[in-house]
Amino acid sequence: MPRVKTFDENEVLIKAMNLFWKQGYSATSVQDLVSHLGINRASLYDTFGDKEQLFKKSFALYRKSSIEGLIQFFKTRPNVKNGFSELFDIAIQEAILDKEAKGCFVVNTTTELIPNDESLIQVVEDNKRDIENLFYEYLKNGKDNGQLKTNQDLRSLSSLLFMLYNGIKVVSKINPQKKKLKGSIDLALSLLS
């Protein structure tokens, strides 16, 4: 008789994502996963594959939810300057409130595993491209409807904003100082004028 799963796969995947996000790939053992997820090794392997496969599924879930969240965020903020200002304010606030100093799962993975894990290089490049494209489309929409008067190259500006957005997650792991972070962001956002 086949075994019936007594756990919700999506809930377990979210737990795995959070554990990998907090500890990183290398520092997370299979035993850590079994203990944290509350499932046995056989169920882990049968459902998700080995540690590497579970990590990649967790990473994909994080990327998917981040991209979807950004899309929804921009859709509900028609004013581009205010939208970016709010996006960065939220990033700063999240960084300050992050007592575990987890930062960003993508940034953490990039610094831990790239360039040594070639299987992830394309995924990280795709993530960068996807977010920069979202930023670009949002900026372009603002330029097209007259909100932005900037003569800056919007592709370069998108790249700069992407770097700052990720930079907040890195710098805040050291000593998140709201005033300093906000000052830097305000300076960068002045390029939208």
Cβ atoms within 10 A of the Cβ of 123, count?
18
At 41, the amino acid letter reads R
Which pLDDT tens digit goes with each residue over 51-92? 999 999 999 999 999 999 999 999 999 999 999 999 999 999
Which pLDDT tens digit goes with each residue over 84-111? 999 999 999 998 888 888 889 999 999 9
At 96, the amino acid letter reads I
Cβ atoms within 10 A of the Cβ of 5, count?
12
Residues 6+ apart with CB under 8 A from 36: 15, 16, 19
Q: What is the mean pLDDT of residues 21-36?
A: 95
Which pLDDT tens digit goes with each residue over 112-159? 999 888 889 999 999 999 999 999 999 999 999 999 988 999 999 999
Q: Would you state the pLDDT for residue 3? A: 55
Tell me the three-class secondary structure of 89-116, residue by residue: HHHHHHHHHCCCCCCCHHHHHHHHHCCC
Distance CA 117, CA 95 (A): 27
Global confidence as pTM: 0.89
Structural domains of the chain in order of their starting residue, each with its CATH number: 1-58 (1.10.10.60), 77-192 (1.10.357.10)
Asked if the model's pLDDT at residue 45 lies above 60, the reply is: yes
CA distances from 144 to 74, 140, 173 (A): 15, 6, 37
Distance CA 152, CA 25 (A): 39
What is the distance, to the nearest Å, from the Cα of residue 36 to the centroid of all Cα atoms in its chain? Answer: 22
Residues 6+ apart with CB under 8 A from 161: 84, 135, 188
Residue 69 in tokens: 């969240």
